[in-house]
Structure 1
Amino acid sequence: MDTKDLQIFYEVVQSKSTSKTAEKLGYVQSAISKRVTKLEEEIGLTLFTRSNKGMVLTQNGADFLKYAQQILTTVSDMEQHFHQKIATLRIGATPTISSNYLKKAYVNPHVTVYTFLISELFVRLKEGHVAIILTNRAYPSPEFHCLKQIREKIVWCYAAKRETLNMPTKIVVSRDPNCPYRLATLSTLTKKQEQSISLIEVDTLDVLLSLVSAGDALAVLPEKTVTSNKQLQADRTRSIGAVDLFVYKLKTNQTPIDLSFLS
């Protein structure tokens, strides 16, 4: 039994959703569903009742949760103890940012990367779960110190199978009102006075990418995200600018931090 499967099981319990768990942990939804099914097959029990209302624990699932929590707590304590001994750097980032900028960190034996929702990043940093975070939200606070600021190029993107970028009537954006890619999209549409375009709002990156790759809508995304996805292509003829990324640590953390892992 893989402890990663136990972590996935625990997160599904908390969110009651495989899609929300996928977004938090940096997986696609189908992978989360397969890992849960695999776990159920391994122990020979049904852990969840699946319905339109989400994933609800069965009685067997509730009993299994108690043991899973004990194992995860023990593993976390053990990792923290030995990571401290080898001075492992713990980094927090969203799935998109970690995919675009932390590829070197993932293969560095002295770095551990954790993916969280944007709303969780500063909480995890403040609680000491991670030493630094990468985020696309500025957070001026006396508690935090910005180690580095990065300009991230963003582009209009559309399905690779489309021959030209004829502006469709639909554009997909994050439902998060503070998402910088959403704000850049709305700003551009306002400047161009586009009145006939309707917005599709979605909660997860998976859904956004599926709509764009299917040719149903356009979106504004980081150039790194677009160029690494064979189902997407960037519009090089329309300039939209850049957004800022920030690397934060607690001001009380005086340990020198090497940022050479940023790619």
Structure 2
Amino acid sequence: MDLNDLRIFQCVAMHGSISKAAQELSYVQSNVTARIKLLERELHTELFYRHNRGMILNTEGKRLLEYANDILARFDEMRKVFQGSATPSGILEIGIVETVIALPELLSSYLQHYPNVDLSLKAGVTEQLLQEVIDFKLDGAFVTGPIQHPLIEQYEVFQEELVIVSKGTEFSLDEITAKPLLLYNKGCSYRERLESWLREEGIVPKKIMEFGTFDTIIGSVAAGIGLTIVPQSTVGYVAAQGTLHCHRVPDPYREVTTVFIRRKDSHITSSIQAFIDEIIKVGSTLPTAL
């Protein structure tokens, strides 16, 4: 068994398919199949349930995947440590919640100072991005905080105010029982704030429609389909045009803080340290949107 076998196994487990794993890894399918069978012989156990539509991890496979994820993450971390240099360079993988509108200013400043860094961005919701930082899949992420987790350290970037957004000029809680809520998928902190508020008020929404992108949500609100909740700064431009209207959310659900998180026991490369320094520097100049 070697690290490459674990990477192949990890990829097959993720896709549930030999052919998809082979395509991603640029291997022929027969090679992937052979490596999985060799791994099963070495461990004296089958790792997958095979069926016509692909492969599903069995109990032993799930157990091995936990080890494989940890081993491969640690190996990649070790390689970063020894390949690091005093000058920021290489790939920096950062997660973002889609509504961090101050991000372009932060990124522009960073890339101007460190052009040799290849910055890769991945959008998602807070819960998902937090897990990917914990799993070493991201170097860090901008999420809604504060985050309470023993493996995470965080840096406050700025504070904002959440608002209910509707097409109409007037809003009351009764509308939530009459119109759908247009929200991000589960794991979104804004959605959790709204749901907590509604539970306290004893209100059951008529319907929740889940969307994956900010533009789709705002476009659907503008079309009169329903209501949403987002930071006020993200919709200021359309509110100023009169296309949409913002309505205040009561305390303690109104204020949200955007933080940058990283796994505290991961190696701080020159690239990530420079990124954190830039966040602190640029973040201190951003106006608090409250």
Give the match's secondary structure for 1:142. coil
State the Cα distance separating 1:66 from its structure 2 match: 5.5
Q: Aligned pair count?
A: 195
| 2:95 matched residue in structure 1 | 93
2:235 corresponds to which letter in structure 1? Answer: V
Q: Deviations over 1:28-56 (max 9, x none)?
A: xxxxxxxxxxxxxxxxxxxxxxxxxxxxx
CA distance in 2 between counterparts of 1:141 and 1:210 reads 35
CA distance in 1 between counterparts of 2:134 and 2:195 reads 32
Match of 1:146 among 145, 149, 154: 154
- What is the CA RMSD across the aligned residues, in angstroms? 4.2
Match of 1:250 among 259, 263, 266: 263
Percent of pairs identical after alignment?
14
CA distance in 1 between counterparts of 2:153 and 2:146 reads 11
State the Cα distance separating 1:65 from its structure 2 match: 5.2
State the Cα distance separating 1:214 from its structure 2 match: 0.8
State the Cα distance separating 1:213 from its structure 2 match: 1.7
Q: Deviations over 1:146-165 (max 9, x none)?
A: 22264321001123xx4x22
State the Cα distance separating 1:143 from its structure 2 match: 2.3
| Maintained 8 Å contact 1:91/1:114 | yes
| 1:235 matched residue in structure 2 | 246
| 1:165 matched residue in structure 2 | 170
Give the match's secondary structure for 2:219. helix
State the Cα distance separating 1:138 from its structure 2 match: 4.4
| Maintained 8 Å contact 2:182/2:211 | no
- Is 1:155 the equivalent of 2:163? yes
Give the match's secondary structure for 1:96. coil
Give the match's secondary structure for 1:220. strand
Unaligned 5+ residue runs, structure 2?
1-13, 28-79
| Maintained 8 Å contact 2:95/2:138 | no
State the Cα distance separating 1:100 from its structure 2 match: 1.5
TM-score of the superposed pair, with normalisation by structure 2 = 0.51
| Maintained 8 Å contact 1:184/1:220 | no
| Maintained 8 Å contact 1:155/1:234 | no
Unaligned 5+ residue runs, structure 1?
1-13, 16-58, 69-79
| Maintained 8 Å contact 2:94/2:140 | yes
Q: Deviations over 1:107-140 (max 9, x none)?
A: 2322625124345423543455544321125443
Match of 1:188 among 192, 197, 215: 197
* Pair 1:90–1:66, CA change in 2 (3 A): closer
| Maintained 8 Å contact 1:223/1:234 | no
Give the match's secondary structure for 2:244. strand
* Pair 1:228–1:82, CA change in 2 (3 A): farther
| 2:208 matched residue in structure 1 | 200
1:94 corresponds to which letter in structure 2? Answer: I
CA distance in 1 between counterparts of 2:92 and 2:21 reads 31
| 1:21 matched residue in structure 2 | none
State the Cα distance separating 1:237 from its structure 2 match: 5.5
Q: Deviations over 1:153-206 (max 9, x none)?
A: 1001123xx4x2244311323341x422222222333454546x5132314235
* Pair 1:244–1:183, CA change in 2 (3 A): same
TM-score of the superposed pair, with normalisation by structure 1 = 0.55
* Pair 1:104–1:175, CA change in 2 (3 A): closer
State the Cα distance separating 1:212 from its structure 2 match: 0.9
- Is 1:224 the equivalent of 2:233? yes
| Maintained 8 Å contact 2:232/2:246 | no
1:92 corresponds to which letter in structure 2? Answer: I
CA distance in 1 between counterparts of 2:182 and 2:107 reads 30
| Maintained 8 Å contact 1:106/1:113 | no
- Is 1:114 the equivalent of 2:114? no
2:92 corresponds to which letter in structure 1? Answer: R
CA distance in 2 between counterparts of 1:226 and 1:194 reads 25
1:220 corresponds to which letter in structure 2? Answer: I
| 2:184 matched residue in structure 1 | 174
CA distance in 2 between counterparts of 1:165 and 1:100 reads 26
| 1:134 matched residue in structure 2 | 142
State the Cα distance separating 1:221 from its structure 2 match: 0.8
Larger Rg belongs to: 2
